[in-house]
Amino acid sequence: MIVSRQSRTTLAYIAPFCVYVASMGLERLSGIGGGWAYALRCSLTLAAILIFSRRTVSLTARNPISSAAAGLLVFILWVAPDQLWNIRHHWPFESAFTGAAVSSIPIDLRRNAAFLILRAGGSALLVPIIEELFWRAWLMRWLISGHIESVPLGTYGRLAFWVTAALFAAEHGPYWEVGLVAGIVYNWWMIRTRSLGDCILAHAVTNLALGLFVIGSGQWQYWL
């Protein structure tokens, strides 16, 4: 079967994200979890990146300092509501629709150095790549035109901007409101820099800072 150029382009942007989400869903449906399940998820996702996306991913940041600062800003905005007002276990942040801010990580793995390194590494190195490929590099452009190759990275479209931000918020369940803020910041940063590498770096700094905060403070609810 011959795969069209447009299909190959689409796969490059969405395949790693779909593999990650599908493997996470299978873990929950099967009831299998733990360190080995997370390692398998990361391995499958990395394989999808190497197979489908290796020529699409750009890790070159044109504005590394500013991108890192944007990532730190999102981290601060992410944890500030709970640290200041302890709102997470109140409606509308905890419901049948959003779920609850309760970590799925077993107690024994919270003391497992190898797992913590793997989890922090996956969050900081893999997740930013797959999410920025999917949300900012593909969806924002696809909502402007189905032929995304005709839409330069960072092209602004009002509908594309807000739909992407809203769906990014929904992905984060009980953290939807800070997910919305993060989506707005990352969308704006893509428009400002027109650089996939800068958005990946900003997202990576956010996730790394959050991972270090979770491990250091023991507030595991941030790792759902």
Give dist(CA 93, CA 152) in Å, integer: 36
The string of pLDDT tens digits covering residues 111-132 is 999 999 999 999 999 999 999 9
The string of pLDDT tens digits covering residues 76-125 is 999 999 999 999 999 999 999 999 999 989 999 999 999 999 999 999 99
State whether the Cα torsion 221-168-77-129 is positive or negative. positive
The phi, psi pair for 99, rounded to 5°, reads 85, -170
Query: Which structure tokens are listed for 140?
Result: 């924002």
Instruction: Evaluate whether residue 21 is within a structural domain.
Output: no
The phi, psi pair for 105, rounded to 5°, reads -80, 120
What length is written for the chain?
Answer: 224
The phi, psi pair for 95, rounded to 5°, reads -160, 175
Domain span at 91:
59-222
Instruction: Evaluate whether residue 35 is within a structural domain.
Output: no
Instruction: Evaluate whether residue 4 is within a structural domain.
Output: no
Instruction: Evaluate whether residue 217 is within a structural domain.
Output: yes
Query: What DSSP designation does 195 have?
Result: -
Give dist(CA 129, CA 221) in Å, integer: 23
The string of pLDDT tens digits covering residues 156-196 is 999 999 999 999 999 999 999 999 999 999 999 999 999 99
Give the residue from 178, 150, 184, 181 showing the smallest Cα distance to 164. Answer: 184
Give the residue from 214, 197, 218 showing the smallest Cα distance to 64. Answer: 197
Query: Which structure tokens are listed for 16?
Result: 């790693």
pLDDT of residue 1: 47
Instruction: Evaluate whether residue 211 is within a structural domain.
Output: yes
Instruction: Evaluate whether residue 189 is within a structural domain.
Output: yes
3-state secondary structure of 94: coil
The phi, psi pair for 144, rounded to 5°, reads -85, -45
Instruction: Report percent pLDDT > 90 for the chain.
Output: 91
pLDDT of residue 33: 80
pLDDT of residue 3: 56
The string of pLDDT tens digits covering residues 20-68 is 999 999 988 887 888 999 999 999 999 999 999 999 999 999 999 999 9
Instruction: Evaluate whether residue 32 is within a structural domain.
Output: no
Q: What is the identity of the amino acid at 95?
A: S
Tell me what percent of the chain is helix, strand and coil, each rounded to the nearest 5.
Answer: 75, 0, 25
Count the domains in the chain: 1
Ranges assigned E (strand) in 123-202: none
Contact in structure between 10 and 149 (CB atoms under 8 Å)? no
Instruction: Evaluate whether residue 99 is within a structural domain.
Output: yes
Q: How confident is the model at residue 6 (pLDDT cuts 50, 70, 90)?
A: confident
Average pLDDT, the chain: 95
